[in-house]
């Protein structure tokens, strides 16, 4: 993707620059982990009992443990390396990771985040990937995410999702499933009236149609939508859907947008209410504004 800088009405191409050391890439992502990927940093170069060190260990806003591996150029077997670390992580006990969170994260984050031990994430960040890499993550029954980074002139840094794959393990696989079952979504939908269930179905379809890379994540409390970061959460009630958006300003011509008190320390601290199908298009306009804050 070409990037341009506007100077007095003319566009100047920003040239991509090679990074000197892989460690430099790791350092800048770790320092800005929450800003870049909505994750909380836990450890760098974490030594495993399998041998080797996990580049970055983190936890996301939904409580999922995260393993991040970096390569400054092409992927160079980074996927296999990350999967080996995932195997090691699965052999640990939940108390192990809870202890790491308590030792490294502020108390308000530990209070807010409930560890989701059954849904770990594997993230690879590299300058480029081969077709073999992309084909691999599309067939293995493990949640793995590929991100491509670029450095440009004027200290510009970009990171884009190449692919996000979530698949169920086979029924014969003893490992826990990596994504929520359909019943989890059904359970959330059951909280709403038939009309609200219909409204959510229309809303969901319109959100996912915005961008093919949008990921939907079902938790025990809400349905989240994200690219590299979350941009909307839908909480289903009996007669309304509460939708939480990113902390930016929104146009007032669609729906009323409430600001959540800063004391709650919520990442998505703007809220709208959706009560009928006639309001869906207005809600989607505001959701697109929230999405544009991360792209």
pLDDT at 173: 40
State the average pLDDT for the chain. Answer: 85
Asked if residue 143 is part of any domain, the answer here is yes
150 and 8 part of one domain: yes
Mean predicted confidence (pLDDT) in 60-68: 92
Integer Cα distance of 289 and 31 in angstroms: 26
Integer Cα distance of 175 and 142 in angstroms: 10
Please say whether the beta carbons of 177 and 168 come within 8 A: yes
Asked if residue 288 is part of any domain, the answer here is yes
148 and 242 part of one domain: no
Lowest mean pLDDT among 98-107, 218-227, 243-252, 277-286: 218-227
pLDDT at 174: 39
* Residues above pLDDT 90, as percent of the chain: 44
Instruction: List the domain range (segments joined by +) for residue 273.
Output: 182-292
141 and 193 part of one domain: no
Please say whether the beta carbons of 104 and 96 come within 8 A: no
97 and 144 part of one domain: yes
pLDDT at 265: 60
DSSP state at residue 254: S
Which string of b and e fits 262-272 if b means at least 16 CB within 10 Å?
eeeebebbbbb
Pairwise pLDDT comparison (132 vs 104), residue with the higher score: 104
Kindly tell me if the per-residue pLDDT of 141 is higher than 70.
no
Please say whether the beta carbons of 185 and 220 come within 8 A: no
Structure tokens that stand for 245 in this block: 């958006």
pLDDT digits (tens, 9 = 90+) for 125-136: 988 888 877 777
CATH of the domain at 269: 3.90.1150
16 and 158 part of one domain: yes
189 and 161 part of one domain: no
pLDDT at 294: 83
78 and 197 part of one domain: no
22 and 106 part of one domain: yes
pLDDT at 112: 84
Kindly tell me if the per-residue pLDDT of 179 is higher than 80.
no
Asked if residue 133 is part of any domain, the answer here is yes
Kindly tell me if the per-residue pLDDT of 181 is higher than 60.
no
Nearest Cα neighbor of 245 from 274, 219, 218 is 274
Q: How far is CA 96 from CA 20, 93, 102, 115, 178, in A?
A: 35, 5, 10, 11, 19
Which helix (H) or strand (E) segment is 258 a member of? Answer: strand 258-259
49 and 98 part of one domain: yes
Mean predicted confidence (pLDDT) in 106-124: 89
125 and 257 part of one domain: no
Nearest Cα neighbor of 64 from 26, 114, 111 is 114
Structural domain ending residue among the three candidates 165, 193, 208: 165
**Which residues, 6+ apart, have CB-to-CB distance to 50 below 8 Å?**
84, 85, 87, 88
DSSP state at residue 169: P
Pairwise pLDDT comparison (137 vs 107), residue with the higher score: 107
Domain count, the chain: 2
* C-alpha atoms less than 13 angstroms from C-alpha of 91 in its C-beta half-sphere: 9
Q: How confident is the model at residue 19 (pLDDT cuts 50, 70, 90)?
A: confident
Structure tokens that stand for 162 in this block: 């190449």
147 and 189 part of one domain: no
Q: How confident is the model at residue 228 (pLDDT cuts 50, 70, 90)?
A: confident
pLDDT digits (tens, 9 = 90+) for 247-275: 999 998 989 999 887 765 677 889 999 99
Q: How confident is the model at residue 242 (pLDDT cuts 50, 70, 90)?
A: very high
Nearest Cα neighbor of 126 from 68, 201, 64, 185 is 68
Q: How confident is the model at residue 103 (pLDDT cuts 50, 70, 90)?
A: very high
């Amino acid at each position: 993707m070409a990037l341009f800088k506007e100077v007095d009405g003319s566009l100047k191409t920003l040239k991509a620059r090679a990074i000197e050391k892989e460690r430099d890439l790791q350092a800048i992502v770790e320092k800005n982990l929450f800003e870049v990927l909505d994750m909380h940093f836990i450890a760098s170069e974490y030594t495993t009992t399998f041998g080797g060190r996990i580049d970055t260990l983190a936890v996301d806003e939904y409580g999922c443990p995260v393993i991040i591996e970096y390569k400054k150029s092409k992927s160079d077997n980074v996927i296999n390396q990350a999967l080996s670390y995932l195997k090691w992580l699965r052999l640990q006990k939940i108390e192990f990771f809870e202890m790491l969170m308590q030792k490294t994260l502020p108390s308000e984050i530990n209070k807010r985040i409930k560890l989701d031990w059954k849904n770990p994430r594997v993230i690879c960040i590299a300058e480029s990937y081969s077709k073999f890499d992309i084909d691999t993550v599309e067939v293995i029954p493990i949640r793995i995410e590929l991100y491509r980074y670029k450095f440009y002139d004027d200290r510009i840094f970009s990171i884009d999702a190449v692919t996000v794959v979530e698949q169920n393990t086979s029924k014969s696989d003893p490992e826990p499933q990596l994504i929520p079952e359909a019943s989890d979504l059904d359970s959330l939908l059951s909280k709403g009236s038939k009309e609200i269930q219909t409204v959510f179905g229309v809303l969901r379809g319109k959100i996912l149609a915005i961008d093919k890379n949008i990921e939907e994540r079902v938790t025990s409390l809400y349905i989240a939508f994200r690219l590299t970061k979350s941009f909307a959460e839908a909480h289903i009630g009996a007669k309304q859907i509460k939708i939480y958006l990113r902390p930016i300003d929104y146009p007032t011509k669609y729906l009323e947008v409430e600001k959540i008190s800063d004391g709650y320390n919520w990442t998505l601290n703007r809220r709208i209410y959706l009560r009928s199908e006639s309001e869906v298009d207005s809600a989607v306009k505001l959701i697109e504004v929230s999405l544009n804050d991360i792209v």
